[in-house]
Amino acid sequence: MNFENVKLFYVFSCVALCLVILSPALMAAVPFPEGEKFSELWILESNRMAEGYPFNVAAGGRHSILLGVGNQMGGLEHYLVYVKLRNQTEPFPNSTAGLPSALEPIFEYRVFLRNNETWEREVSFSFEEVSFEGDVCRISAVSVDWRFVNVDKVAVWDAERSGFFYQLFFELWIYDAEVSGFAFHSRSVGLWLNMSRQL
């Protein structure tokens, strides 16, 4: 081995050793691309399946589903999930445009989640005051997790699909420190329900 090769090997070894020693400082100073940050919102039927959801419902019948939220945002997050009820003509959230439904919530859940943490709970619901008059169905009271809420939701008979259709849906909101309040997080899931005169 000649002197030039030894010198080159020595310089290369010194540079490699310096990089190894300085790597923690370099990792702190050089920004690396982060993975995608997102939140999850889901509903499952009570046996943890994405099928067999309640559909045909009637006054007094109690139903349940599993509601879940997942945090992949990189840190601790404060979430708010609004529960809303609409008929087939009322507005649904526009997640693409980042616009929530203008409907008033009938219930809410608040949860803090660390990164990579999930929250899931059983949500039970029933319709307590339902009346039918010709081609009109009116819901006057809803129970969510055994708490009763007065509502006034009217659905007109849908002859094409043979039913009075309502949608119970969930919107995900996240705490935004810049506005010191919650902002719609462009996530929503819903469950279509056909109100029957009796089951």
For the chain, what are the domain ranges?
1-32, 38-195
Q: Which residues share a beta bridge with 71? A: 39
Q: Which one is predicted more confidently, 152 or 12? A: 152
Q: What average pLDDT does the segment 110-139 reach?
A: 96
Helix or strand holding residue 15 (H, E): helix 3-29
Q: What is the value of pTM for the model shown?
A: 0.81
Fold of 38-195: Immunoglobulin-like (2.60.40)
Answer yes or no: is pLDDT of 13 > 80.
Answer: no
At residue 27, the 3 state secondary structure works out as helix
